[in-house]
Structure formats: C-alpha cells, structure tokens
Amino acid sequence: MADSGEGPRIEVTIAAPVETVWQALRDPRLIRRWHGWDFDGLDEEVQSIYLTGVTEDATAHVLEVGGSDRFSLHSSGEGTVVRLTRAPIGTFPEWDAYYDDITEGWYTFLHQLRFGLERHGLAERRTVFIEGTLEEPGVLVDALGLREVATLPPGSPYKAETAAGGELSGQVWASSPYQLLLTVEQFGDGLAVLAQQPHAAHRPEGGVLAVLTTYGLDDPAFTKVESRWTAWWERHRVVPDDDVIDPGTPPA
C-alpha cells in the first residue's frame, strides 16, 4: 500500500490478462464471487458500489466509483496491475470518520479479487464472517494463536494450530499493518482475512474482523468450519447491548 498525492494507493498484480480482470470488475455475477462476504444484501451492495453512478472508460480500463475512488488496470509482464487510488480525505466530509475503514476494505477486496481469479477462476464460494470486539483486549491473530505466522513474509508456507479452527496450513497471501491474509488448505484452498480495526469515534474500543472464504466444501464440511469459528467467537466477543435478550418480567 502506497501513499500518493491524491490519497492512499493500493496495488495488486494479478496473474491474468487485463480483459479478464476488467470483466471481473464489471460483471455483477462475477463481482459477487470475490467482493466481501455472503449476506442477504450482497447483490445490492455490488450494484451500489460498482455499477450505480460510476464513470468508466472500457478502452483505457479505468473505473471511478462513488465519484471518488479510481481503479486503473495496467498490463505487465506478470499479468495485470490493479491500481486503486483513493480520493483525498475531505472529499466527502460526511464519510471522513470511515475513511480508514474504507481504505482497509479496499485492501481486502483487491486481494480477494486476486485470490479468486488466480486460484479458482472466480468459482462460487461460501464464506464465514465475524466482526466485533474481543472480550479480552488484544490482537485477533494473537488470540487465534497465529502470532508467529503473522511475522512471516508473503509467500511463506505455514502450519499452525489455531484456537478457533484446529490446524490450518497454507501460505501467507498478503499482509499489512492491520491485516493478515492466509491461504487455507482446510477451506478447500480458501482464504482467511484476519483484520484489526483501528480505534475510531464510531468504534472507540477498536475491533476485529475475519472473512473466511471456502471453495468446494460439501455441506457437512462447511458447517464444521462455520460452527468451529462462530463458537469460538461467541466465547471471546463482547456482546453488544442490543444483542442481549431482555428476559422480561418473571412470572408471578
């Protein structure tokens, strides 16, 4: 991740032709196979971000979304460089409080795009999503038992026993000051995004986020992954006040 005069710049190089990557950014049926995670509003989110009110130049392979953030695709010897340049903070003051969150989100999404294309040709996926605050203040990778893995450079193989999902193995896909992305053999050659969310006015205690992307798992295997991780999270998260069920007045 680099900083330009305009705003933060994020670049990934994808081992695929420019036209293939461009199609992955323009076809909503393909976007939903790499962007974010599964939830009921995913199709609407894809439409809102990538298709509504965007400016595109299909010849130059340039796409501007939300009137601010700019994708540009560049052919290279290794495939396609995808460059995302953010508009400077202050362009939309009402979103300034979430500026860093959005930047981190783009980092996640671009690496999900790269992974989905390179490793699976944008095949269908299933995901597990976790977000909130750890009950014991700390770093998500530490709580999961992945502190040593987080010190490895991208491309390094790893094998670790995690607190949530048992043994995981694969390679370090990417890392940043706030994120660790790991390929996971046990997810059907899937991807784990483990992120630390910084302290902010809307999140004074900070937070954590995990996106687990799986491929080709049958229902029992996927349910096992989902159950292990959500059970661990339920034991270690802060329960928000609006999650607490009011038992009401006890019967007389």
For CA atoms 228, 234, 237, 243, the dihedral sign is positive
Are 218 and 207 a contacting pair, CB within 8 Å? no
pLDDT at 243: 55
Shared-domain flag, residues 219 and 205? yes
Domain membership of residue 80 (yes or no) is yes
pLDDT given at position 225: 97
- What is the spatial distance between Cα 84 and Cα 10, in angstroms, rounded to a whole number? 5
Confidence tier at 211 by pLDDT (50, 70, 90): very high
Only one residue has tokens 């393909």, namely 30
Domain that holds residue 211: 126-238
Is this structure's pTM higher than 0.85?
yes
For 17-64, how does the pLDDT look when each residue is reduced to its tens digit (9 = 90+)?
999 999 999 999 999 999 999 999 999 999 999 999 999 999 999 999
Kindly state whether residues 111 and 133 are assigned to the same domain: no
Residue 227 contacts residue 219 (beta carbons within 8 Å): no
Based on the domain organization, do 76 and 147 belong to the same domain?
no
Residues 77 and 136 placed together within one structural domain of the fold: no
What is the pLDDT at residue 240? 76
Residues 61 and 155 in one domain: no
Q: Are residues 104 and 145 in the same domain?
A: no
Split into its structural domains, the chain has a count of 2
